[in-house]
Structure 1
Amino acid sequence: MSTLIRPPPANPANSKIENLLELTQLSDIDSDLFTNTRPLWHPPGARGIYGGAAIAQCLSAAQKTIPKDFTVHSMHCYFVLAGNSDIPIIYHVERVRSGKSFATRTVQARQRGKVIFTTTLSFVKQNSGGKQLVQHAVKMPEVPPPVEGMDDLDDRGAPSGPFQSQRIEIFNNDSPNPEDKKCRQWIKARGRISPEGGHEAHLSALAYMSDSYFVGTIARAHKLWRYSAFRKDNSKSSIDEETLKKLLVLDEEKLKRFKHVDEADLEHIRALRNGEAVEKPEIGMMVSLDHTIYFHNPRSFRADEWMMTEMETPWSDDGRGLVFQRIFTRHGTLIATCVQEGLVRLKQKEEAKL
């Protein structure tokens, strides 16, 4: 059973992402215990649930334990074990500190008694910085605007999912140095987030979307092949073989709108169509290890309006890689900075037996 309690009907007044991230408080056991109200998504080929769900629901649980005039400004997360979409998650909030200006919470996500995800969050009281402030913020780069009415596609070739995304051409994509490239996209929650959800719903939605394509920036910067057409072992790829077959018959326009396909993947798909051998290195395993979000203007944006994300990777080695991400409103306000380290291992060639 994927939820502890039978899920109620989706609230039509709420957006898709609100319904997806809804929590049930287990107040009969402990007022600081929560569980996922609805089943969580397991991306095709992934080791476990989509990491953004754990990030967002931990944030949502913590937000329910603080005063309304406090807002999250940072959260530091660790992915411990792959989450199983067939098992309910129990979120335990610990009230570490509740001060006059700052409050600290830790949240552990557990399945069958084991911690699968843990985070520490810090909240700050509104307007506690005083009237005179030290202010500066990086400017949003000039990029093509999102195309209204254009939607991304899932593996069935249809619009889906709780949020929309539109990829922008990679900056410096022809550079031989992966560290010089910047991967950009427009994102927003699908539909309209309800007034009842308040700023908390927008923050949880942002946290959910912040994990989209994050560690994958490393594969994109190196133009690595992530989809394997003929896997004879039990290793996981980013997508299953049936989905790859569907990709091979899609036209170019639909391929460019497919959620999990970037320019490097397009090159490989074209090669497969033409019966050409793909000689480039292939990702064997790519999973997130940790995830940090700094919220800069937590009450001055809407997650259901277009936001621009820019990701770059300053380093990768020894089976790991680091990615930085900035998130802006459509009008250029910096609303979040994120950092993620991930496990990035290539599929190793079999050594010739002597």
Structure 2
Amino acid sequence: MTEAARAAAADPAAAAAAVPVPMTPDGVAYGQPVLDRLVALLDLERIEENIFRGVSPAESPVRVFGGQVAGQSLVAAGRTVPADRRVHSLHAYFIRPGDPSIPIVYEVDRIRDGRSFTTRRVVAVQRGKAIFSLSASFQLDQPGIDHAEPMPEVPGPETLPTYAEQVGDYRERIGGMSAVPRPIDIRYVTEPPWLARETGRREARNQVWMRADGKLPDDDLLHVCVLAYASDLTLLDAVLARHGVYWGTDKVLGASLDHAMWFHRPFRADEWFLYDCASPSASGSRGLATGRFFSHDGSLVATVVQEGLLRVLS
């Protein structure tokens, strides 16, 4: 990462002074300049052969966003793998809350380099302790049997209101990620959870259209890492929707516990994709959510499973 890119990632306010940044009606930055900062966040500094360092944006919540540390870990793994091998799966655990005020060190263990598959393990470290661990597998492109579930029938993203329009006067109550710059354009297909809690919808399902809010470079690994980042934005909403509660509007304490993704087909993260999420179960202060990513043409490109800690306080 260049010094300029690192500075832009760590200090968006300074970057905004250099590059005009569009603002939503609710006063939140969006568009290509914000997406460029996400790309800069994912462009890790290499400090040794298998050791990398990343930073967090200044507007981070009190702890590092899970999608950020997952995306950065995948970048670290991918930087040690030949370019002709695509990541096909990752399995990760969130161990401790990350501190956004200090850098994160990513240590890569080169587990295996086989003829078709390459396996890497990454541990993210702050203050000498692991905050996150990830195992990722990469594979040479190979022909084989092919089938996929069809995409649900939903309205197109262009027909739906923007996230800013849907949040409206709720932004102050929701807080959290709704108040930080938005590198991902999100359009809710199902009723947004902050509205569903008031209208009485109790379906354990959440559907949104997403895309990187700008143009990304032609880098397959980067597109996968941006999808990993986006996968943590709305997944647990499917759990909360079933119970009519939501972050900020209710006393909900939550954190990602583990996260798994399988990448089935090539895609571009700067083109529209449908994120279809559901929750099969919640118990013991934990909620399980599954997600399917479909490209705009209906191809199933990735599958996600996450369990989150969810405590609803009275």
**TM-score > 0.5, shorter chain as reference:** yes
Name which of 137, 140, 150 aligns with 2:148.
137
Matching residue's letter, 2:210: I
- How far apart, CA to CA, are the structure 2 residues paired with 1:135 and 1:163? 30
Contact conserved, 2:204 with 2:240, CA < 8 A, in 1?
A: no
- How far apart, CA to CA, are the structure 2 residues paired with 1:165 and 1:61? 27
Contact conserved, 1:62 with 1:93, CA < 8 A, in 2?
A: yes
Which is worse superposed, 65-74 or 210-219?
A: 210-219
Aligned counterpart, 1:188: 211
Aligned counterpart, 1:124: 139
Aligned counterpart, 1:147: 158
- TM-score, normalised via structure 1 length: 0.71
- TM-score, normalised via structure 2 length: 0.79
Q: Which ranges of structure 1 fall in alignment gaps of 5 or more residues? A: 229-281, 349-354
* Structural mapping, 1:31-70, within 5 Å: 31-37=49-55, 39=57, 42-43=60-61, 48-70=63-85
Name which of 65, 74, 83 aligns with 2:89.
74
Contact conserved, 2:289 with 2:306, CA < 8 A, in 1?
A: yes
* Structural mapping, 1:209-248, within 5 Å: 209-228=230-249
Aligned counterpart, 2:29: none
**Deviations 1:217-255 (CA, angstroms, capped at 9, x unpaired):** 211222114325xxxxxxxxxxxxxxxxxxxxxxxxxxx
Contact conserved, 2:163 with 2:188, CA < 8 A, in 1?
A: no
Query: Alignment partner of 2:293: what SS?
Result: strand
Name which of 291, 295, 298 aligns with 2:263.
295
Say if 1:164 and 1:225 are closer, same or farther in 2 by CA, change over 3 A.
closer
Q: Which has the larger radius of gyration?
A: 1
Q: How big is the shift at 1:181? A: 3.6
Aligned residues: 276
Contact conserved, 1:48 with 1:82, CA < 8 A, in 2?
A: yes
Q: How big is the shift at 1:293? A: 0.4
Aligned counterpart, 1:306: 272
**Deviations 1:19-49 (CA, angstroms, capped at 9, x unpaired):** 23221111xxx21111115536523xxx511
Contact conserved, 1:20 with 1:38, CA < 8 A, in 2?
A: yes
**Deviations 1:103-124 (CA, angstroms, capped at 9, x unpaired):** 1100000001110000111111
Name which of 279, 304, 312 aligns with 1:338.
304
Aligned counterpart, 1:23: 44
In percent, how many aligned pairs have the same letter?
Answer: 34
Aligned counterpart, 1:258: none
